[in-house]
Amino acid sequence: VLAGAGCTVTMTESHPIVFAMLVDLAERCAPHVRVELEDARRLIPAGFDVVYLDPMFEPRRKTALPGKPMQVLRDIVGRDAPDLAETLALARRHARERVVVKRHTHARAVGAPDWRIPGRTVRFDVYRPLT
């Protein structure tokens, strides 16, 4: 959506297989989106207007498993994700306008968001930068 609106978009992914999938997707659907094989925490200090964090959701406590594609992705990537609170704090120190974190509707917020954009299955917690 942002790239379609003319915004410059830089995506980061630290896992090589997921990175390759994102590069393929960007080449086919959004050639003007830059995809970097990098831990986002290394690029955030460069300063961006908006930092959007889309961490993998924590496993559900329900008995039903997620869909097969998500199970495969979890098996490939594993569960070793960077600390979201640490990444959020870094992003809030460097973002110029705001930081948005995608969360499952039932997940606890990280810190205290300035506002939320609710959805049916996900919500977006929005934080102002720290000054």
Residues 6+ apart with CB under 8 A from 11: 22, 26, 33, 34, 35, 36
Residue closest to 108 by CA, chosen among 88, 93, 92, 130: 88
pLDDT band at 98 (very low <50, low <70, confident <90, very high): very high
Residue closest to 111 by CA, chosen among 131, 90, 81, 82: 90
Residue 27 predicted with pLDDT over 70: yes
Rg, the chain, Cα only: 15
Residue 82 predicted with pLDDT over 90: no
Identify the three-state secondary structure at position 42. helix
Q: How far apart are CA 111 and CA 105, in angstroms?
A: 15
